Every structure is written in C-alpha cells, then in structure tokens.
Amino acid sequence: MKFFVDTADTAEIADLAATGLLDGVTTNPTLIAKAGRDFLEVTAEICKLTDGPVSAEVVALDHAGMLREAEILRKIADNVCIKVPLTIDGLKTCKALTGEGTMVNVTLCFSAAQALLAAKAGATFVSPFVGRHDDNGFDGMALIDDIRLIYDNYDYRTQILVASIRHGIHVLESARIGADVITAPPAVIKGLFRHVLTEKGIEGFLADWAKTGQSIG
C-alpha cells in the first residue's frame, strides 16, 4: 500500500520523504490556506520533494473552468495529479484529462456508486473520505470494502486512495481491505511509528548502555 501525506507544509513533507516511506502528496484548498503561501509556488516546491503524484485541486465547478485551471496546474511539473470533485462536470474533466495522459484524483467520494462512476470515467485515483463518513453516522471502512469488491469484480485500474484518515486504525483497516493508497496528515503517519513497548525497550537499552560507561565513536 502506498503512503501519501495530506498537507501543504513543505517542512513536514521533506521530513517524511527522508524516511523513504513517502509515495506522494495530496493537497486541497483548505491545506493551501493553512500554509499561507502562493498556491502555484508551494505546489511546485512540493513536486520537487517527491517523485510521486502531487494532487493539486481545481476550484472551478464547471467543466470548461476546470480544464482551464488544470492546464495551468499540470504545467507545474510532470508529477502533478489534477484533483477534481465527484460531480458530472468533474467526471467530464477527468475523462478529458486522463485521455491526454494526465493523472486525475477524483475527490469527495462518499458512496460506492460514485466510485464506480469515477472508475468508468478513467480516474487514476478515487478518494473516499472515511473520517467524514464516520462523522455522519456511516461506516467509512465498509465503504472502502465495497469499492474494493466492485473494482475487483470488473478489473478497474482506478486506485482506491483512502482519504480523511483520522487515526492509525483507519490505516490498518485500509491495508487489510487492500486499498491501493492512504493519505493522512503528518501526525497520523508519525503516530504509526510509536508504540509504548518500543519506547520502553529503547529506555531499557539506553539505561543498560549507560552502565557500561562506553561510547560509540
């Protein structure tokens, strides 16, 4: 399973990229606003920090407007992935862009039927939002399970990119189901490293090492 980080904070991206675990980045207008920087400038910088896809979202709601914005965004770098909403105009744009060889991430997916439409439109990625689904009384991971089944039934190549991840259990369940990608905030990804027994083990080793009075190097 691929790991994308969901942020526009270039320092956080660089830190995770150094681990060798980062496969891509997703951004959205909210994250760009939090970064407080020029959209095109920060997107270009992010694209230099990873060889993987970098999702950059259009803000137009009509097909023609999306295409105009996509034309600007995909000139930033070869690894830009155009992010469009799961609407009729969004899927028209998806079909047009993927037909030209551009990666497209269809976002704001909340049903398996929507995911089916995205796959038929040729989406590179579809982004079901599990956290928001849970917040509204639905089972986010059951949605991922349904999409996986449908895509496997028809051998769709669209990758399931699990988004709106809130905690490590979402990551674990995504892997169990067989999602292709997860995208999570830096804090959630870094939280996967932590375990109380790992921390206790390090403390014990360091205490025992101190007793030896030795140093390395």
Q: What is the pTM of this model?
A: 0.95
Q: Does residue 75 form part of some domain?
A: yes
Give the count of domains, the chain: 1
Per the annotation, the verdict on 211 as an active-site residue is no
Q: Which residue has the tokens 């051998």?
A: 155
pLDDT at 27 over 90: yes
Beta carbons within 10 angstroms of residue 159's beta carbon: 18
Q: What is the pLDDT of residue 93?
A: 98
189 has a pLDDT exceeding 90: yes
Query: Which residue in this structure is represented by tokens 């979402």?
Result: 170
Does some domain include residue 73? yes
Query: How far is 129 from 141, CA to CA, in rounded Å?
Result: 10
pLDDT at 217 > cutoff 90: no
Q: CA-CA distance, 181 to 24, in Å (whole number)?
A: 9
Question: Could you tell me what percent of the chain has a pLDDT over 90?
Answer: 95
State residue 50's pLDDT score. Answer: 97
**Given pLDDT bands bounded at 50, 70 and 90, which one contains residue 34?**
confident
pLDDT value at residue 49:
97
Average pLDDT for 8-27: 96
Radius of gyration of the chain (CA): 19
Query: How high is the pLDDT of residue 161?
Result: 98
Q: If you average pLDDT over residues 164-190, what whole number do you get? A: 98
pLDDT at 122: 98
- CATH number for position 188: 3.20.20.70
Domain that holds residue 80: 2-212
Taking CA atoms, 44 is separated from 41, 69, 190, in Å, by 5, 15, 24
Options 83, 92, 95, 120, the catalytic residue? 83
pLDDT digits (tens, 9 = 90+) for 77-134: 999 999 999 999 999 999 999 999 999 999 999 999 999 999 999 999 999 999 999 9
Residue 129: the pLDDT is 98
Residue 13 clears pLDDT 90, i.e. is over it: yes
Residue 124 lies in a domain: yes
pLDDT tops 90 at residue 35: no
Residue 81 β-bridge partners: 55
217 within domain boundaries: no
pLDDT at 139: 96
